[in-house]
Chain A
Amino acid sequence: MDIILQQLVNGLSLGSVYGLIAIGYTMVYGIIGMINFAHGDVYMVSAYVTAIAIALLSFFGIESFPVVILGTLIFTIFVTGVYGWVIERVAYRPLRGSSRLSILISAIGMSLILQNYVQISQGAKQQGVPTLLSGAIRFDVGDGFVQLTYMKLFILCASFIGMGVLTYIIQKTKLGRMCRATQQDPKMASILGIDTDKIISTVFVIGATMAALAGVLVTLDYGGFDFYVGFIIGIKAFTAAVLGGIGSLPGAMLGGIILGLSEALFAGLISSDYKDVFSFSLLVIILIFRPSGLLGKPEVEKV
């Protein structure tokens, strides 16, 4: 019983992180219909930037926890956001109007570039960050106990705040209205005076900032990372996006949490060696039986 509860707690924090990254996939797919294959690597870059920000802050003698975490968040989100913009500008915008296959191959190329560029500049070895926040709350359950570390609590709060802010932006602001209009009908939106290229760039930046938030949170929690971390977590976040219905923002969050929970339960109860196999199989099964996901609309092909 306590194992299941513990795994649920872990799965919830893992799932909220998947949800954050899935937002990037789902928004980009919604607006230009492409799988941004390099998104997982944007997350990986943000992990490195997090560690660099922490190292820089401690170099300048700043040690107080709130300042460090705030400074790291702002720095990482800013730098990663610029990454999102540059990637779109360099690798995707010149291909607007090409076949989907070309854009996807370009995205795969971008993913390889990011991985190798980070590997060359930072070295292939595993990197890490110091533990900033330790301690946990314990709940006694029957004979055992369930523990919720402060870091996990922080992840949950921060990611829910991030998702909340994003939902507000998309639903209530002018920028959000322009995004939604472009998603529904890019041609009509541009006729009505929306600069769709700018909106597409904005969506990439939003996706990257959400990935950056996830990157900061996961890096602070786990501590270690290398240049290859973006690949697996990228596919899992994509699975989450598909599970929730690709193109749907609440779907991405819901899908992330469901995937995180089910993966944690699978790892805790059945086998942790095969937990990646479980996630990938889940992806395959969803795509076969319900490609539109939980909250998505079925895609209709038109001539």
Chain B
Amino acid sequence: MSQAVVSINYKKSVIDAVIAGLLALIVFGPIVGIVLDGYDFNAEPERLMWIVLTVMAGRLAASVFFQTSKGAAFLYKHSSKDEGVHVLLPGHKSKLRWIIPLTIVIALLVPFIASKYILTVVILGLIYVLLGLGLNIVVGLAGLLDLGFVGFYAIGAYGLALGYEHLGLGFWSMLPIAAIIAAIFGAILGFPVLRMHGDYLAIVTLGFGEIIRLVLTNWTELTQGPNGMNAPLPTFFGMEFKRRASEGHVPFHEFFGIPYSSAYKYIFIYLVLLLVVLGVLYVKKRLTKMPIGRAWEALREDEIACRSLGLNHVLVKLSAFMIGASTGGLAGVFFATYQGFVNPSSFTFFESALILAIVVLGGMGSTLGVVIAAFVLTVAPELLREFADYRVLAFGMLMVLMMIWKPRGLVRMTRTGVEQREGNVK
């Protein structure tokens, strides 16, 4: 191919930059430059100037860059909407196979080396891994945008608190019950709405999540409203992790004759949670290879084709929805027991958006990506506390940029191909 003659039209770039600067002045001028103070205001011209200058410089640089051959190649690469799933050769063995046992060993060692603070952060990270995995089945595999996922999380958390308060059930009985209740709610919500169009589904689920939160806030006789409720700690074969156990129970440290430490309960929660996460990971891995998992992905790619081939789309979607919901319920139970307390303000729409950001960033459908993204998005804010104000801004930008450049996420979903069977049919 002959070298394309690249001539850069600097005049155009400068005009682009000036227009961008003017727009930035109009857009940012009132909100950034003038800060309301009661009915009065304080002018902040300096930071406005910096923003406008940054926008102009950025636009100028981008405009020049896209006129070079490299820029054109970059644009071309990202304008092709490559949205397929990578199919690996049959019998493909990942080079990273050894990493799984290594990670499990490290994960098992964490509670014995890490401090209590780090342990609590890691527990939170694992809870979000669970949530991310649940939503990943719904959004990533089945392609149903669920914006009310936090509703199932809330059902799990309040399930534990309410079960303890009104029925006297503990952590271990509520763990499966909450998952089942969340799945039932998923079915109740899903059955009528899964027939509708994808965007409508998003809004209905959003409404559902908000309804759950509003009911939890306003039904004060049952949930004590915004004051929240207490949630029980897990027990270890009937032994409690408190300094003094309630009647008929033995405290964990007395039974083993070791001194009391408040870290024991976190270690125990961590180990149980790790076990559940590994279980969910395994189940998810198997499900994607089963006919049901293939049906989810097929529906995501082309619903009309699937229906023509005789798949019952409502049942297939419903199964994804219910499994996702029950995973969310499990995460809720762990969240409640970890905090020892639940109140409705933990279950706002922002939480749903955060879980969605985890799935989107990690790569829709990709398990490894979701695990990494969950840790990055929950642990990073803990470490970078001085930038905590900018967290949501960063999530938002991440979501927009990812959709423009890498709609399939950082870690692309892959699927191992199937070998042709040697049979009699030629």
Contact = CB atoms under 8 A, between A and B. Distances in A.
Contacts, number: 175
Interface string A257-298: 000000000000000011011001101100110010000000
B170 interface: no
B245 interface: no
Contacts of A303: 304
Contacts of A100: 198-199
B211 interface: yes
B207 A280 contact: yes
B254 to A, nearest CB: 47
A122 B145 contact: no
Contact of A104 (B192, B202, B349): B202
B31 A48 contact: yes
Nearest to B390: A120
A85 B403 CA distance: 19
Contacts of A53: 30
A105 B197 contact: no
Interface in B137-169: 139, 143, 145, 147
A159 interface: no
A287 B389 contact: no
Contacts of B206: 235
A58 B38 CA distance: 13
Nearest to B220: A273
B227 interface: no
Contacts of B197: 291, 299
B199 A104 contact: yes
A112 B407 contact: no
Interface size class of B (residues with CB under 8 A): 35 or more
B145 A48 contact: no
Interface in A75-92: 78-79, 82-83, 85-86, 90-91
A91 B207 contact: no
B242 to A, nearest CB: 36
A55 B39 contact: yes
A111 interface: yes
A56 interface: yes
A66 interface: no
Contacts of A101: 139, 143, 145, 198
A91 B400 contact: yes
B31 A121 contact: yes
B351 to A, nearest CB: 12
A122 B28 CA distance: 12
A102 interface: yes
B393 A117 contact: yes
Given A109-B397, A112-B353, A287-B204, A98 B403 contact: yes
B304 A283 contact: no
B404 interface: yes
A303 B393 CA distance: 38
B193 A59 contact: no
B203 A102 contact: no
A273 B218 contact: yes
A151 B143 CA distance: 46
Given A56-B41, A95-B404, A109-B403, A49 B30 contact: yes
Contacts of A114: 396
Interface in B301-354: 304, 349-350, 353
B395 interface: yes
B83 interface: yes
Given A283-B203, A287-B204, A121 B35 contact: yes
Contacts of B204: 283-284, 287
Given A98-B81, A112-B395, A284-B193, A105 B360 contact: yes
Contacts of B171: none
Interface of B: 23, 26-27, 29-32, 34-36, 38-41, 81, 83, 139, 143, 145, 147, 192-193, 196-200, 202-204, 206-208, 210-211, 214-215, 218, 304, 349-350, 353, 356, 360, 389-393, 395-400, 403-404, 407
The 5 closest A-B pairs by CB, nearest first: A109-B399, A112-B396, A113-B396, A280-B207, A116-B392
19 contacts: A33-B199, A52-B41, A82-B23, A82-B27, A83-B27, A97-B81, A98-B81, A98-B403, A112-B392, A113-B396, A116-B390, A117-B393, A120-B390, A121-B35, A235-B207, A239-B207, A276-B214, A284-B193, A284-B211
